[in-house]
Amino acid sequence: MKQIILLTFMAISVLTGNAQTAATNNLPPVDKSPMDMCYYPSNYPVLKIQDKITEPAVARVIYSRPQKNGRLIFGDLVEYGKVWRLGANEATEIEFFRSVKIGDKKVEKGRYTLYAIPMEDSWTIILNKDNDVWGAFKYDEQKDVVRTTVPVQKLSEGVEALAMTFEKSDSGCNLIIAWDNIKASLPISLK
């Protein structure tokens, strides 16, 4: 019995695996909200090594993925009417490999920081040119490149970890952003 308990604990410590001794060596532990990346066209790097690319890379987003962890997200943890970093840790970054159009505004090729101001029925999505920042703590409206307001959609099934992905649209692509029971979609025109 004792042995089983010991083995169980060993198994658990393998599972959680967070005990990176590196933490004691000034090296970074694994983040609680892991970083992730998405491209348009979706899965571009995988398509690339499979020789299945039909169009050049247009955009990619690098973001960190907080988890719901039983909390109420919108209107509570993420307050309505306040700038939200759309992620965790390093600010969320969107990069265009060519110029695109968002709202009625031309957005030049390059890196931008992505924010949102969530409301109950709509989100204002912001592209800002102050890059390599942390969260929205030093957000400066003067550096906005474009702001556009999009409606939100209620999801029937909850999303535990903040998720972003691109989908194809008639005019280009949409950046889908989903967390908890809310989904927003940012239209990006390639025309």
Partner 1 sequence: MKLACTFFLCCVFFIACTDKNEKSHDQAETKPDTAIVHTPTNPYAAIDLSPMDMSYFPVNYSQLKMTHDITTPPIMRVIYSRPHRQGRTIFGNLLKYGQRWRLGANEASEIEFFQNVTIQDKKVNAGRYIIYCIPYQEKWTIILNNDLYTWGLKIDSTKDVMQFDVPAKKAAADFEYFTMVFQPITNGAELVMAWDDTEGRLPINF
**99-130 core/surface letters (b: 16 or more CB in 10 A; e: else):** ebbbbeeebeeeebbbbbbbeeeebebbbbee
Q: For residue 124, give the nearest of 163, 156, 83 by alpha carbon.
A: 83
- Tell me: does residue 132 bind partner 1 (CB under 8 A): yes
Taking the complex as a whole, the smallest distance from the CB of residue 188 to partner 1 amounts, in Å, to 17
Q: With binding defined as CB under 8 A, does residue 144 bind partner 1? A: no
In three state form, how does the secondary structure of 121-165 look?
Answer: CEEEEEEECCCCCECCCCCCHHHEEEEEEEEEEEEEEEEEEEEEE
User: Interface with partner 1 by CB under 8 A: which range of 77-85, 98-106, 145-153, 154-162?
Assistant: 154-162
The answer to the question of residue 156 lying near partner 1 (CB under 8 A) is: no
Among positions 77, 119, 145, 176, the unique one binding partner 1 when judged by CB under 8 A: 176
Specify whether the backbone of 73 is left (phi greater than 0), alpha (psi in -120 to 50) or beta: alpha
Q: Which one, 8 or 169, has the nearer CB to partner 1?
A: 8
User: What's the maximum distance between 2 C-alpha atoms anywhere in the chain?
Assistant: 68
Least distance (Å) between residue 138 CB and partner 1: 5
Which of residues 75 and 158 has its CB atom nearest to partner 1 in the complex? 158
**What residues are paired with 184 via a beta bridge?**
152, 177
Residue 146 interacts with partner 1 (CB under 8 A): yes or no? no
Site string for partner 1, 46-85 (x = CB under 8 A): x-xxx------x--x-x--x-x------------------
Cβ(178)–Cβ(65) below 8 Å: no
Positions that interact with partner 1 (CB under 8 A)? 1, 4-5, 7-8, 11-12, 14-15, 17, 19-22, 24-25, 27-31, 34-39, 43-46, 48-50, 57, 60, 62, 65, 67, 90-91, 132-135, 137-138, 157-161, 163-165, 176, 178
